[in-house]
Chains A and B, each alone.
Chain A
Amino acid sequence: MSTGTTATVEQNQVSSAGVSLWSDAYRRFKKNKLGVVCFFIICGYVAIALLTWLGLLGADFSVNGPDSYAAPSSSHWFGTDIFGRDVFARGLHGTRIALSIGLATSFIAIPIGVTLGAIAGYFGGLVDDFIVWFYNVVESIPDILKIIALGYAMGRGISTVYISIGLTTWVSLCKLIRTEFMKHKRRDYVQSAMAIGASHKRRMFLHILPNVFHIILVNLSVRFITAIKMEVVLSYLGLGVEPGQPSWGIMIDDAKLEMARGVWWGLTCASIFMFFLILAFTLFNDALREALDPKLRNK
């Protein structure tokens, strides 16, 4: 063979530099119209949450009005509650609480789930046995019982909700990450990373983690749905945020008494807010998975 052949290089390449898997996923996500609509609905909710947090929207949510239980009208779109407070404004504020719970619990649960799952899947052996044993024990107690127990231990309040949901819902992510790591650690690219002298930590978090990141992303979206529903359940059970806080759970809890008196608007307002957020997250989640999952690619 002459050196001339060496210089000849395979032509027909996919041209244009730098099409990463992420930009590819973004391109595919954009094609899913429903997913994009849902994304904007979620953005709308985030905007509401930010504006209420800054006091620019529904600022009168805790201002007591003259009429208790006023029916929906042009000045109060969803009527007023027992203290004459605007129900719609409270619903808007509920968004802030719901999203903050989704975010805060993710900040707690995702690092725990990812770290434990990565260690278990990567190292295997005794370490794996121990972590599997640990999450099986955690999982064997129903979530709601753990949350209630933690709730009683820490007292009622929004931080309790953050911590109790965060500390109990990492197991499913941990399992997913563990199996992905078991799969990836045997892949050739991890071995070649080993061959250039990369450490365990580097291989786990620099080489494998970016390859399983889509799972975390999809899980984040599912997590919001779970956390928001869980908050409503907790508040309904009287373990969630303090009464008086404008949470959807509290509004639904209050409806227990209101419905008997024919006051339907509190329940309706909270349900509508929740319905669209959960629906948007669910559909967004599907679209996200479709865009990120290599197996569903090229459809």
Chain B
Amino acid sequence: MSSVVEVKNLVTSFKTQEGTFNAVDNVSFKVDAGKTLGIVGESGCGKSVTSLSIMGLIPMPPGKIESGEILFKGQNLLKLSQNEMRKIRGNKIGMIFQEPMTSLNPVFTIGNQIEEAIKLHQKELSSKQVREKAIDMLKLVGIPSPEKRIDDYPHQLSGGMRQRVMIAIALSCSPDLLIADEPTTALDVTIQAQILDLIKKLQRELNTAMILITHDLGVVAETCDDVAVMYAGKIVEYGTADQIFNRPLHPYTKGLLNSVPHFETGKRKTRLETIPGIVPSLANLPQGCRFFDRCTQSIEQCKVRQPELEKLEHNVACYNPVKQK
């Protein structure tokens, strides 16, 4: 099966007063139809910049895509003009944002906003058909009495409802690729589960490829087929969810998994494990491995040269990977 989206050696840089930094450095991955790739990592590791690069929404300047290819169904998105890109955004690639509370325009009804997404890309529909389609979308994302709700303003809906509307907008043109940038971060836990279920269900129904960006490992475990772990702009480990969760190779991935609190009854509470240190600033990255300062099993070589992704059991960028028991 050919991939819906394939990112090859993507480098995205930002120009700041202190110089130019690569927020995303030589990142490659691919997603097949109906599959979900989870991109995990701490804040500022380049997850969102990766997704914005695919959407062509990097503010330029200060941002710039230095090199690489983003192949969307075989077509390099980086070669497209603004106009051609606009026809793809919202139509072939949908995006769900982190903040449902602020991502809807407060002065328009939710109906207006779903209809706009449809009208922008399906010009042949009459306004009556567009409205019917918008109501269908609301029904699809599980909003009760959509015929009435369609004329509501965003401020009349709760966070979970608004995220449902955002999903309706993102899926209104049945995109081939859905990018969900921390879709549940701003929601409380019970709603998170509902929204994730909804996204999964719709993805299965529409056979959409999905990139799920999150720092919540629980979310990844529940929804993703493949996982890419990012650290300071690079992918440090890339494999199936099973490989990453059950047989992590990179010390960072292992550290991340260890720092998830475990709740087991009958056991004494232990201190939550953390990864010591902080993410290095992009302004002064070490010469060698970017995780060197925080790594518990670094060796001499790590200090000198940056490890690249290598195929061991699965892809990992480490000279001294975690030994499997």
Is B88 an interface position by the 8 A CB rule?
yes
Asked whether, in the complex, the Cβ of B107 is within 8 Å of the Cβ of A20, the reply is yes
Please determine whether A211 and B120 come into contact, CB atoms closer than 8 angstroms: no
By a CB distance below 8 angstroms, the chain A residues around B143 are 9
How distant is the Cα of A188 from the Cα of B97 in the complex, in angstroms? 8
Question: Would B105 and A189 count as touching, CB distance under 8 A?
Answer: yes
Judge if A260 is at the interface, Cβ distance under 8 Å.
no
Minimum distance in angstroms from B283 CB to a CB of chain A = 23
In the complex with contacts A13-B157, A21-B153, A207-B105, A192-B95 CB distance below 8 A: yes
Known contacts being A13-B157, A13-B161, A197-B86, is A191 close to B109, with CB within 8 Å? Answer: no
Which A residues are in CB contact (< 8 Å) with B108? 210
Beta-carbon nearest neighbor of B61 in chain A? A125
- Say yes or no: is B158 at the interface (Cβ < 8 Å to chain A): yes
Contact present for A196 and B117 (CB under 8 Å): yes
Q: Is the CB of B104 within 8 A of A196?
A: no
Q: Does chain B have a CB within 8 A of A193? A: yes
B216 within 8 Å of A by Cβ?
A: no
Nearest CB to that of B89 among chain A residues? A197
CA distance A21 to B155 in the complex (A): 9
B90 touches A6 (CB 8 A): no
> In the bound complex, how far is the Cα of B193 from the Cα of A17, in angstroms?
27
Given contacts A13-B161, A188-B97, is CB(A3)–CB(B201) below 8 Å? yes
Query: Taking the complex as formed, is B121 at the interface, i.e. its CB lies under 8 A from any CB of chain A?
Result: yes
Identify which of A5, A19, A125, A211 contacts B156 (C-beta below 8 A). Answer: A19
Task: Write out, one digit per residue, whether chain A residues 223-255 have a CB within 8 A of any chain B CB (1) or not (0).
Answer: 000000000000000000000000000000000
Q: Does B42 contact A (CB under 8 A)?
A: no
- The answer to whether B103 and A9 have CB atoms under 8 Å apart is no
Q: From B154, which residue of chain A is reached at the shortest CB distance?
A: A189
- Which of A3, A14, A189, A197 interacts with B120 by CB under 8 Å? A197
Q: Check A5 against B57 for contact (C-beta < 8 Å).
A: no
Contact A197 B121, CB 8 Å, known A1-B193, A1-B197:
yes
With A9-B144, A18-B152, A19-B156 as contacts: A196 and B120 at CB distance below 8 Å: yes
Q: Chain A: interface residue count, which band?
A: 20 to 34
Indicate whether A5 sits within 8 Å of B158 (C-beta atoms), given known contacts A187-B102, A198-B116. no
- Let me know if A10 and B161 touch, CB within 8 A: yes
Q: Tell me, yes or no, whether B242 is within 8 Å of chain A by CB.
A: no
In the assembled complex, which residues on chain B have CB atoms less than 8 Å from the CB atom of A189?
Answer: 102-106
* A18 close to B99 (CB less than 8 A): no
Chain B residues with Cβ below 8 Å from A20 are 107, 109, 153
Interface status of A199 (Cβ within 8 A of chain B): yes
Residues on B with C-beta less than 8 A from A125 are 61
**1/0 contact trace for B289-319 toward A, CB 8 Å?**
0000000000000000000000000000000
Pick the residue among A17, A196, A210 that contacts B90 (CB under 8 A). Answer: A196
Q: Smallest Cβ distance from A27 to chain B, in angstroms?
A: 14
List the A side residues contacting B95 at CB < 8 Å.
192, 195
Scan residues 18-42 of chain A and give those whose CB is less than 8 A from a CB of chain B: 18-21
Contacts of A21 in B (CB 8 A): 106-107, 153, 155
How far, in angstroms, from A156 to B155 measured CA to CA in the complex? 52
Cβ of B142 under 8 Å from chain A: yes
Measured between beta carbons, the chain B residues less than 8 angstroms from A210 are 105, 107-108
Judge whether A194 is part of the interface by a CB distance below 8 angstroms: yes
The answer to whether B148 has its CB under 8 Å from any CB of chain A is yes
Tell me the complex Cα distance, A17–B88, Å.
Answer: 33
- For B57, B153, B191, which residue has the most chain A Cβ atoms within 10 angstroms? B153
**Is B198 positioned at the interface, with any CB of A under 8 Å from its CB?**
yes
Q: Which of A5, A10, A197 has the most CB of B within 10 A?
A: A197
B57 near A194 (CB under 8 angstroms)? Answer: yes
Against B, the Cβ 8 Å flags (1 = close, 0 = not) of A37-59 are 00000000000000000000000
Whether B156 lies near A6 (C-beta < 8 A) is no
User: Assuming A6-B198, A13-B157, is B106 touching A196 (CB within 8 A)?
Assistant: no
Contact with A along B224-239 (1 / 0, CB 8 A): 0000000000000000
Are the CB atoms of A9 and B106 closer together than 8 Å? no
Q: A192 — which chain B residues lie within 8 A by C-beta?
A: 95, 97, 103-104, 166, 169
Q: Is A8 in contact with chain B by the CB < 8 A criterion? A: yes
Q: Using Cβ atoms and an 8 Å threshold, which residues of chain B touch A18?
A: 109, 151-153
Tell me, rounded to whole Å, the shortest Cβ–Cβ distance linking B298 to chain A. 39
Which residue from B97, B148, B161, B201 sits with its C-beta under 8 Å from A195? Answer: B97
| Contacting residue for A188 out of B103, B149, B158, B169, CB 8 A | B103
Query: With A13-B156, A21-B153, A188-B99 in contact, do A3 and B197 touch (Cβ < 8 Å)?
Result: yes
Instruction: List 17 interface pairs A-B (beta carbons < 8 Å), by A numbering.
Output: A1-B194, A3-B201, A6-B201, A14-B155, A17-B152, A17-B156, A192-B95, A195-B89, A195-B95, A196-B89, A196-B90, A197-B120, A197-B121, A198-B120, A207-B105, A210-B108, A211-B106
Given A9-B160, A197-B87, A210-B105, 13 more contacts at CB 8 Å? A5-B193, A6-B197, A6-B198, A9-B143, A17-B148, A21-B153, A125-B61, A189-B104, A189-B106, A194-B89, A195-B57, A197-B90, A197-B120
A contacts, CB < 8 Å to B: 1, 3, 5-10, 12-14, 17-21, 125, 187-189, 191-199, 207, 210-211, 213
* 3 cross-chain pairs, A with B, having the tightest CB-CB distances, nearest first: A196-B90, A197-B90, A197-B89
